[in-house]
A and B are shown apart, each in its own frame.
Chain A
Amino acid sequence: MRFLLDDEQQAFARSLDAMLTAADTPSVIRSWSAGDPTAGRALWTRIAEAGVFALAVPEAYEGVGPLPVELAVAFVELGRHAAPGPLVETVAAAVLLTEPEAAKRLLPALASGEVIATVASEGSYALDGDVATVLLTVDGEALRLAPGHGPVRTSLDPARRLTRLDPGGELLARNQPLPRALTWARLATAAQALGVGLALLDRTVAYVKQRVQFGVPIGSFQAVKHQLADAKIALEFTRPLVFGAALSMDPADVAAAKVTACEAAYATARTALQLHGAIGYTAEYDLSLWLTKARALRTAWGTPGECRAMVLDSGLSGDGRRS
């Protein structure tokens, strides 16, 4: 029993943080949202070079995975910097591609960042289908390479460009491991949401320390402090759920982490908006990049209700009643 990240995992987080800080993600996000993915593609390559996608790709296909704990470490950082693109979807694609022929063809390029993948089940939206170069549709039991995508619809989070994928296309596999891919996608989303929440808290704490009203920083007022304390509590009790789920990769544990992380991030977003006042309600101010993502992630890869139902239907892995 030692429920702490080891030195290597912590160093991995720090190096990703340094890389993403240097990349100036807010400007990358804004051009991505405006339909110019050039800077986003460059950032994608650096994320891949840092080894993030390889964590979900088996060694046989030029990855280093499966390493879910490290993946969670990475997605917390990606969330903290609000990195754009179908990051979670590319992880899901990597897990879906188990059929040897398709895996050999696509996984190495996915791990290296040469390929950006997105995935949707039939009738739902695929994230960033206009930028992704591999479009996967889960059509019943079948996994297909979609021939194209429909028009882009804007998400509340402008960095999330939603498209429907065209029906038909090449059949890649007949029995895709959808439940397993869903678990990986939910874990990545949970970690990403935790990162979004942590960034919102950090930014808001910094803001209330320097914003002066009535002659003092507003962060000295109890009404302000207590909202931030509640956000801190919610996020600190999310962190162990996310890493506990990454250790077990039990679908119910991951669902619990997903719903909790998204609730905590969203509650922190509401607090961040309130404590920033009017400036927080503008698209121009960078806080908006995290505020809107916190809302969008709540329903991505499983609604709060679906996740909670799964927890009750299956029970968590530490629960004696399952053994």
Chain B
Amino acid sequence: MDLNHSPADEAFRAEAHAWLAAHVPPEPLPSLETEEGFAAHRAWEAELAADRWSAVSWPVAYGGRGVDILKWLIFEEEYYAAGAPGRVGQNGISLLAPTLFDHGTEEQRARILPPMASGEVIWAQAWSEPEAGSDLASLRSRAVRTDGGWRLSGQKTWSSRAAFADRAFGLFRSEPDTPKPHQGLTYVMFDLRAPGVTVRPIGRLDGKPAFAELFLDEVFVPDEDVIGEPGQGWRVAMSTAGNERGLTLRSPGRFLAAADRLVDLWQAHGDPSDTALRDRVADAVIGARAYQLFTYAHASRFLQGEPLGPESSLNKVFWSQYDIALHETALDLLGAEGELADTDWCEGYVFSLAGPVYAGTNEIQRDIIAERLLSLPKGRR
């Protein structure tokens, strides 16, 4: 058991630290959920990519540095400790890219990954539909065979980043009459500006257009934009849900940095006699450390070749609840200032509130934990 990083890993940390110190914008960028902020975050992605920092774990050929998960964790620690901007390319980098690595063709990887790394193409996800949320397999949007590709029709919703993004990925029903709902689905990438696509932005709780509804009317998608075999989309989408993605969707570095800022806030504004609030600040510090160590343990297992499956559901519930508790504590600490909408803390709070809902609701995650980690019997949802 050893928590010390190798000299090579520490050298990598120093290199990342130095680059970030020289490049991170001195002032926070405008919210990435606004048109202006989205553009500023896209430009930042290009700056990262120019020096191969936007997707360090990818192979060099696609714009990465080919580093292992430990170096990725180190990069993330440095990234957020430096106060660097949120990642507008996250949907593509942490949800689509792992799927392309596992199920895409070489042609797809070469075509799609470099502009994803540079922020030239920002991806939105298109999973949910009005009648298919947690019960995703009941989705009804169709992909119909046509010459050289498919025509997509139907409605997607709660599509994060879609208000300003360039392309989207999701599942479509390509075989209408299958015995089970998760059969006959196809994993498709499509252009949000293609003929037949209508994007209607949706204001999240604070009104910012963080997601959108997508109306698709006979949208043409060439065969080259299908990932994996047609009809196998469910397997393609789910196979990467439990492995690295579980480790990489929210890195510990993000929460370690946030907890650090919370301690600064406590030291500046806290009333030492308010032990109830003190305890919540301490829990934020402890929780960030717990998440970091939990992730190091999982990374160690991953590096020795053990598959990571339903354990990622433990992660998801933990960080999503943690993130809210941390921001609630900060807003309480700020007192009357806490309700002001234009602070980073308030922006972070609003963002955190969605955590228990997206990427598989926490209820679905708890079902997975109970049935797959504790072996409890399946029952009615």
In the complex, whether A9 has a CB less than 8 A from a CB of chain B is: yes
The residues of A that contact B282 with a CB separation of less than 8 Å are: 256, 259, 308-309, 311-312
Whether A229 touches B286, Cβ cut-off 8 Å, given contacts A3-B1, A4-B300, A4-B301, is: no
A253 to B4, CA, bound (A): 16
Q: Out of B5, B81, B278, B373, name the residue touching A308 (CB < 8 Å).
A: B278
Are the CB atoms of B379 and A222 closer together than 8 Å? yes
**Closest partner residue, chain A, to B267 (CB atom):** A312
Q: How far is the CB of B135 from chain A (nearest CB, A)?
A: 14
Of the candidates A1, A220, A239, A244, the one whose C-beta lies within 8 Å of that of B376 is A220
Given known A-B contacts A6-B1, A316-B289, A205 and B376 have beta carbons under 8 A apart:
yes
B294 within 8 A of A: yes
Is B334's CB within 8 Å of the partner chain A? Answer: no
Query: Is B339 interfacial (CB 8 A cutoff)?
Result: no
CA distance A256 to B379 in the complex (A): 37
Q: How far is the CA of A93 from the CA of B4 in the complex (A)?
A: 31
Indicate which residue in B1, B266, B317 contacts A247 across the interface (CB closer than 8 Å). Answer: B1
B374 touches A233 (CB 8 A): no
Known contacts A1-B4, A1-B296, A240-B296: does B370 contact A228 (CB below 8 Å)?
Answer: yes
Is B238 located at the chain interface by the 8 A CB criterion? no
Q: How far is the CA of A239 from the CA of B289 in the complex (A)?
A: 12
B300 touches A3 (CB 8 A): yes
Interface string of B1-38 (1 = CB under 8 A from A): 11111100100000000000000000000000000000
Question: Please, how many residues of chain A have a CB less than 8 angstroms from a CB on the other chain?
Answer: 52
B355 to chain A: closest CB distance in Å?
Answer: 14
Closest Cβ of chain A to B114, distance in Å, is 30
The reply to whether B369 and A233 contact each other, CB–CB distance below 8 Å, is yes
Determine which of B266, B289, B366, B367 lies in contact with A318 in the assembled complex, contact meaning CB atoms within 8 Å: B289
A312 touches B281 (CB 8 A): yes
Among B286, B297, B379, residue most surrounded by chain A Cβ atoms (within 10 Å): B286
Q: Which residue of A lies closest to B371 (CB)?
A: A225
Cα–Cα, bound, A222→B371 (Å):
10
CA of A239 to CA of B314 in the docked complex: distance in angstroms?
13
A69 within 8 A of B: yes
Q: Is the CB of A220 within 8 A of B291?
A: no
- Asked if B51 lies at the interface with its beta carbon under 8 angstroms from chain A, I say no
Q: Is the interface of B mostly helix, strand, loop or mixed?
A: helix
Contact between A236 and B263 (Cβ–Cβ < 8 Å)?
no
Residue of A9, A225, A236, A256 near B289 (CB, 8 A) is A256
What string of 1s and 0s marks CB contacts (under 8 Å) between B355-380 and chain A?
00000000101110111011111111
Taking the complex as formed, is B120 at the interface, i.e. its CB lies under 8 A from any CB of chain A? no
Evaluate contact between B296 and A305: CB separation under 8 angstroms. Answer: no
Q: How far is the CB of A311 from chain B (nearest CB, A)?
A: 5
Are B301 and A229 closer than 8 Å at their CB atoms? no
Nearest residue, chain A, Cβ from B278: A312
Contact of A319 among B260, B367, B371, B380 (CB under 8 A): B260
Question: Is there an interface contact between B297 and A4, defined as CB atoms closer than 8 Å?
Answer: yes
Smallest CB gap from B366: residue in A = A229
Query: Binary interface profile of A, 310-323, with partner B (CB < 8 Å = 1, else 0)?
Result: 01100110111100
Neighbouring B residues of A256 by C-beta, 8 Å: 282, 285-286, 289
Q: How far is the CA of A207 from the CA of B146 in the complex (A)?
A: 55
For A311, what are the chain B residues with a Cβ–Cβ distance below 8 Å?
Answer: 282, 285-286
> Does A292 interact with chain B (Cβ within 8 Å)?
no
Q: Which residues of B contact A232 (CB under 8 A)?
A: 314, 369, 373-374
A241 within 8 A of B: yes
Q: Let me know if B205 is at the binding interface, CB within 8 A.
A: no
A229 to B256, CA, bound (A): 25
A238 near B290 with CB under 8 A, answer yes
In-complex Cβ contact of A4 among B1, B279, B374 (8 A)? B1
Residues from chain A with Cβ under 8 Å of B381 in the complex: 222
A321 contacts across to B, CB distance below 8 A: 260, 263
Contacts beyond the supplied A3-B300, A240-B297: 6 A-B pairs with Cβ under 8 Å: A1-B5, A217-B377, A240-B293, A256-B285, A259-B282, A320-B260
Q: Which 3 pairs across A and B sit closest by C-beta, in order of nearness?
A: A220-B379, A240-B293, A225-B370
A interface residues with partner B (beta carbon < 8 Å): 1-6, 9, 69, 201, 205, 208-209, 216-217, 219-222, 224-226, 228-230, 232-233, 236-241, 243-244, 247-248, 253, 256, 259-260, 304-305, 308-309, 311-312, 315-316, 318-321
Q: Mind listing 24 A-B residue pairs with CB under 8 Å?
A: A1-B9, A3-B296, A205-B374, A209-B375, A216-B379, A225-B367, A226-B370, A232-B314, A232-B374, A237-B287, A237-B318, A240-B294, A240-B297, A243-B1, A244-B293, A259-B282, A259-B286, A260-B286, A309-B275, A312-B263, A315-B285, A318-B292, A320-B81, A321-B263
